[in-house]
Chains A and B, each alone.
Chain A
């Protein structure tokens, strides 16, 4: 993370090459659950971006200042879950008080993120890749932006699917999964970009 080029390359790598949905297969539940409308998918994506950035920061602090000194690194998963759950609750209360507009825009998606594996995933990845503080936070933000991109693209595809003629056996979830698979194949084209 020495120069601006490094940051840009890292961004491309997080958003396109190592896209959370399409190459790491993390966070597939909200990806399929909340992608039926572009509008709601944008809200979900923004909420995830928000939480992943903050969670990366706090998980890094907990890991490096508590778990490593105490030699309890095997406790990372359970501590991260605790941190994320508490953090999401806190952020929800804070937003409700300080920014009702943002609170109502994120709506129910904010508490839903507590159980999003992408958030836990980014914390674990930061830990395993021994990223520094800045890089962890950037990884959180950029990976979440990749999630945002994926879910919005998917919502666009699904809105089109709604009004197309699809064989009865493929209607609904089957065609959604096929589309998601094809999108993942398309994203494989980005591998080797960075």
Chain B
């Protein structure tokens, strides 16, 4: 008899709770626009927060509401943006894929060391300590603040500087924000001729702190037939819109600070 009671009690509880839950699911049903889920699936899915919304769910909801631009998710890539545009019934101008580039070649042994840093492993902390462990005040410190922020595993630390894997990089910009030295910059993927130095000091000072520093000599500017290069504030810059990726500048650079990927 007891076992019958036990079974009945459990069964009754189960049925009551089931009923209550069914009732509750009807009563408390929240209308969710089905497009939110669809848009959510097209996104990068790393909750990187680069779009400015709290995670991918927040961004998807904002897109459906019309508050966020449909191309606001950099990690979604061109394919993702097209898919979102299809869901939302909008046209989108395709933008070129960007990628984060490390504008420094100051590896261990090339950039002079100011002191041996043995503290808290963070670039932001090290940068604030007597001007940072490297003599160059523009150098990548290589302690990995950008690597920690990268949700896609695209950044690795090698020989004391950061390296970005363009395949994995989604140009979300988290690393650019994380870098205390602004060493990282988002550039178009196709723009593969890059000045890997941002040292704006005069040539003598720049050369004294790093073997690979841009000294602003202007030979690249003279060599460039397309007027894509300007030398301002002590270092060369390449305008990706004018650059034809011919590589003539890299060939003449005496400091080997223009590289072709």
Contact = CB atoms under 8 A, between A and B. Distances in A.
- Size band of the interface chain A makes with B: 20 to 34
B233 interface: no
Interface string B17-42: 11011001101111000000000000
Contacts of A104: 54
17 contacts: A66-B9, A66-B13, A70-B5, A71-B2, A72-B6, A75-B9, A82-B10, A82-B13, A82-B14, A86-B17, A90-B21, A97-B28, A97-B29, A97-B30, A98-B28, A163-B121, A164-B121
Interface in A50-101: 62, 66-67, 70-72, 75, 78-79, 82-83, 86, 89-90, 93-94, 96-98, 100
A70 B28 contact: no
B120 interface: yes
B122 interface: yes
Q: Can you list the 7 inter-chain pairs with the closest CB atoms, starting with the nearest?
A: A86-B17, A97-B28, A93-B28, A93-B24, A90-B24, A163-B121, A96-B30
Interface string A129-167: 000000000000000000000000000000000011100
Given A71-B2, A94-B28, A163-B120, A89 B21 contact: yes
Nearest to B54: A104
Given A78-B10, A104-B54, 5 more contacts: A72-B9, A75-B10, A93-B25, A94-B24, A96-B28
A164 B118 CA distance: 11
Interface of A: 62, 66-67, 70-72, 75, 78-79, 82-83, 86, 89-90, 93-94, 96-98, 100, 104, 163-165
Contacts of B14: 82
Nearest to A62: B13
Interface of B: 2, 5-6, 9-10, 13-14, 17-18, 20-21, 24-25, 27-30, 54, 120-122
Contact of A165 (B25, B29, B121): B121
Give the most central of A71, A86, A97, A98: most B CB within 10 Å: A86
A62 B6 CA distance: 14
Nearest to A86: B17
Contact of B9 (A70, A89, A90, A100): A70
A100 B13 CA distance: 29
B169 to A, nearest CB: 23
Nearest to A79: B13
A90 B20 contact: yes
A62 B20 CA distance: 16
